[in-house]
Each structure stands twice: as structure tokens, then as C-alpha cells.
Amino acid sequence: MTSLWSVRASEERYRKLIQYLPIPLLQVDAREIGGVFSELKLEGIADLGPHLDLHADLIDFANASVRITKANQAAVALFGADDAAALTGPVAKVFAASPETARRVMIARFKGQRTYAEVMKMRTLDGRLLDVRITITYPAPPERLDVTLICLEDLTDQRSTEYQLRQLQAEFARAARILTLGQLATSIAHEVNQPLSAIATNAETSLRWLSRDEPNLEKIGQLTARVAASAHHASEIVQRIRGTAAKHMPDRISLDLNDIVEEAMLFVGHDIETRAIELTLTSTPLPVVMGDRVQLQQVIVNLLVNSIQAIPNAGKIFVETELRPDTTVSLTIYDNGPGIPEEDIDRVFEGFFTTKDEGIGVGLAICQSIITAHGGDIAASNRPEGGACFRIWLPAASPMDLEAATAAAV
Ligand SMILES: Nc1ncnc2c1ncn2[C@@H]1O[C@H](COP(=O)(O)OP(=O)(O)OP(=O)(O)O)[C@@H](O)[C@H]1O
Ligand SMILES: [Mg+2]
């Protein structure tokens, strides 16, 4: 008696456990199709797949004969059913939206698998289409009780979150591409604007000199040479940007940084003169560096333009080149302007950081990306005497670099 009661009690516990388990569970009776499978095996059928190809009606038979006998509360809720009774009966309602799943479930059982799981679409009784993970546990042969359990897990939310994440990711990638394009366009505008405005001012000054009674031909000659140099510079920048866009590597040739400084100064010569700026150049003989001439010119021009914009008329700019004991070549540009507010110093290299009404804030970002691409470094600071100071370090070319450059030039 005691044992019978304990069996009853344990059954009751099991029943309650299933009933209130927060996972949708269906208990099904698949004995009839189990019998059909045994017969097929006796007839020598080892693989159910090909047999189902020929006898598709067997799938219909399974859908009708396998019957849901119990459904727990979570399953009732999942199906949007009124009660468990609405779910009992043929299992077909589980597989209606995914007929292929029913086929795979049958094949797994035929093979003697203990469980089978996959993600499928399922139509609920109130018409919603869900993504669910179906897990089926089949009874193993020695178990007399032929009870199959179907566990259904709603993945719809998870799926839609995944989908939204994928959408977001795609949008992000698109935004990043647009941003890069936007930045490219902005940097073209920024870099080409400088030589263009130099061309305009030099040409206008030239015209003024020409309109005098006694034109100063020497001066006009100088200005015209500057116009030509700026025009070349602009077209080289455009070519370089086109090269970058086409993912071409920048030129890497051996260069003397002192020459680059002098070339860069030509581009700002007009501003320096008209604003009576005192520019002091202190150069030390340097070993060559490997680099792209136009890009390095751009860096120096950007730094000079920033200083010119920061200082008053008759202000001072200092440019110094130096060889450091560790064979890095350094270039320092500083001015006697107001300097950079301490709170901005970490931000000046950020793209689009500007304190100027007319500024875009890409000059220093471009400088940094060029210098980094050359294996160097760039830093901003303020001098104790006042005024901003920008310093660039570039590695001196190694004998190996020079050999490679000579070989490439041949
Ligand atoms: N020599 C300097 N003295 C004082 N502040 C400077 C100096 N150089 C740069 N800055 C500060 O760094 C900011 C960023 O400079 P950056 O060259 O990147 O952009 P920008 O000059 O403002 O605009 P643009 O895109 O036209 O170059 C400037 O707006 C300015 O606040
Ligand atoms: Mg600038």
C-alpha cells in the first residue's frame, strides 16, 4: 500500500512539475506510428527518408495519429489557446507551418535517436507565426511507457532582436562608409582650398602690379612662379587623394625634411609677407627620411596655416629641424599666439574639432594620419612663454630602406 501511495504521490509531483514548468511542454502519444515503424523495420527498411519520399501519406498519418494528450500552462499560453483541452488531439497543429520538420522528427525517431531539436516556424491557434525551438525526447526502447515529450521554446523575441541587431550593424557599416566619404570630401576641400586661395591672392597681386605705370616685372615673375607652384601642389593633392581612394600606397622616397620645409613655406609665403609675420627657420643637417613629399608638405603647410591664423599681424613663427640622438628627425613649429586652451589640448587632433568660425577641424587630423602612416609621431603643447608648439618626429631612413628605394628606382 505504502509503495502504491508513494508512486501516486510521485506521479502527482511529476504532473504538477510539468504543469507549472515555465517552459511550454506537450505530452504526446505516438504509439500508433511507433507500431508502424516497427513493422517497416521488420520489412527490412533501414532508412526512413527514401521511404517517406515514396509514401508521403505516412507523414499525414503521423500528423493525425500522433496525439497531444497533455499540455502545460506555458504551452497553452504559447499557443494562445483557451485551455489545455484546445490543444489536445492531432499533433498536426504543431507542424502546420513547417511540414518538413515533421518529416525530420519522424526520421530521427526511426533512427532511434533519444532527442531531436531544430528551430522552426509555428502558427499559434490565434494566428501568430512564431520562431520556436522544438525539442523532442523520444522514449528509449526499454521504457514501457510510450510517452514522447515536446518542448517548445519561443525564440521570436530573440530572433527579432538578432534581426534588429543585424540591421543596426548594417546601418552602422553604411554610416561609417558615408562618414569616410564625407571625411574624404572634407579633406579634399580643406587641402585643395589652401593652394587655391594662394593662387587667387598671388594672381590678384600680380594684376595689381601689372596695372601700375611701371610694372615690377621681377615681382610679377615671383608671383607667377608661386601661382604655378600652388597649381602644381593642388593637382598633386588631388592626384594623391585619388591614389588614396584607389588604395594606392603613398610614395615612399628618401627625402630631406629641410627641403620639404622650404617647399612648404612657399605656399604660405604670401600670407607671411602681407601680414608682416616674422618667420624664423633654424635647420640642422638631417639624415633622409622615407616618405611622401606631397603629404609631408601638407603637414607642414597645415601647421603653418594654423599658426598664421592664431597669431596677430607682425606675430612670430619659429620652425626648427633637429636630429635627435636616437636618430629620429624632428620638426618643431611654434608661434607667439595665444596657445591652445589646456582643456582642448587632447582634442586638437580629433577630426572636426575646431574653435574657429570658418574652421572645419580636419587640418590636424590629416597631419596626424599622415605622420602616423610614416611611422612617426606628432604632439601638441603650449610653451611656457605662451604660444602653441607642434612637434613631429619621423624615423630616419635605415640603410635597408635606402637600398630598397634605390632598387625600386632602377
Ligand atoms: N597654432 C595654434 N595656436 C592655437 N590653437 C591652435 C593652433 N593650431 C591649432 N589650434 C587649435 O586646434 C584646433 C584644430 O586645428 P585644425 O587645424 O585641426 O582645425 P582648424 O584649423 O580649426 O580648421 P581647418 O580644418 O580649417 O584646419 C583649432 O581650431 C585651434 O583651436
Ligand atoms: Mg587648421
Region 183-196: mean pLDDT is 79
pLDDT of residue 248: 43
Residue 165 or 395, more confident: 395
**In the chain, domain spans:** 12-154, 249-409
Ligand nearest to the CA of 190: 1
* Separation of alpha carbons 318 and 322, rounded Å: 13
3-state secondary structure of 71: strand
Cβ neighbors of 250 (< 8 A, separation 6 or more) are 240, 243, 244, 292, 295, 373
* Separation of alpha carbons 227 and 206, rounded Å: 10
Q: Among 342, 344, 348, which residue has the most ligand 1 atoms within 8 Å of its CB, making it the best to mutate? A: 348
Region 75-103: mean pLDDT is 94
Give pLDDT tens digits for 327-350: 899 999 999 999 999 999 999 998
Kindly calculate the radius of gyration of the chain based on its CA atoms and give it in whole angstroms: 40
Residue owning the nearest CA to atom 28 of ligand 1: 354
Region 16-31: mean pLDDT is 85
Average pLDDT, the chain: 86
Q: What torsion, rounded to 10 degrees, do the Cα atoms 243, 249, 251, 257 define?
A: 110
pLDDT of residue 1: 46
CATH value of 12-154 in 3.30.450.20, 3.40.50.300, 3.40.640.10, 3.40.50.10420: 3.30.450.20
Residue owning the nearest CA to atom 29 of ligand 1: 354
pLDDT of residue 4: 59
pLDDT of residue 402: 83
Assigned CATH for 249-409: 3.30.565.10
- DSSP H helices, 117-256, are 156-210, 217-245
- Decide: 78 in ligand 1 pocket, CB within 6 A: no
In the numeric block, the cell 517497416 is attached to 40
Give pLDDT tens digits for 346-402: 999 987 789 998 787 888 988 888 898 899 999 999 999 999 999 999 999 988 888
Region 233-247: mean pLDDT is 68
Centroid of ligand 1 to alpha carbon of 356 (angstroms): 7
Centroid of ligand 2 to alpha carbon of 364 (angstroms): 6
- Decide: 99 in ligand 1 pocket, CB within 6 A: no
pLDDT of residue 387: 96
Band (pLDDT 50/70/90 cuts) for residue 163 is: confident
Ligand 1 closest atom vs CA 334:
1
Ligand 1 closest atom vs CA 360:
25
Q: Among 364, 366, 381, which residue has the most ligand 1 atoms within 8 Å of its CB, making it the best to mutate? A: 364
- Decide: 335 in ligand 1 pocket, CB within 6 A: yes
Band (pLDDT 50/70/90 cuts) for residue 242 is: low
pLDDT of residue 271: 82
Region 263-282: mean pLDDT is 88
pLDDT for residue 255 is more than 60? yes
Ligand 1 closest atom vs CA 307:
1
pLDDT of residue 142: 58
Band (pLDDT 50/70/90 cuts) for residue 185 is: confident
Check: CB of residue 131 under 8 Å from CB of residue 159: yes
Ligand nearest to the CA of 387: 1
Region 173-196: mean pLDDT is 71
Residue owning the nearest CA to atom 26 of ligand 1: 359
- Decide: 355 in ligand 1 pocket, CB within 6 A: yes
pLDDT for residue 247 is more than 50? no
Q: All 3 cell numbers of residue 183? A: 571625411
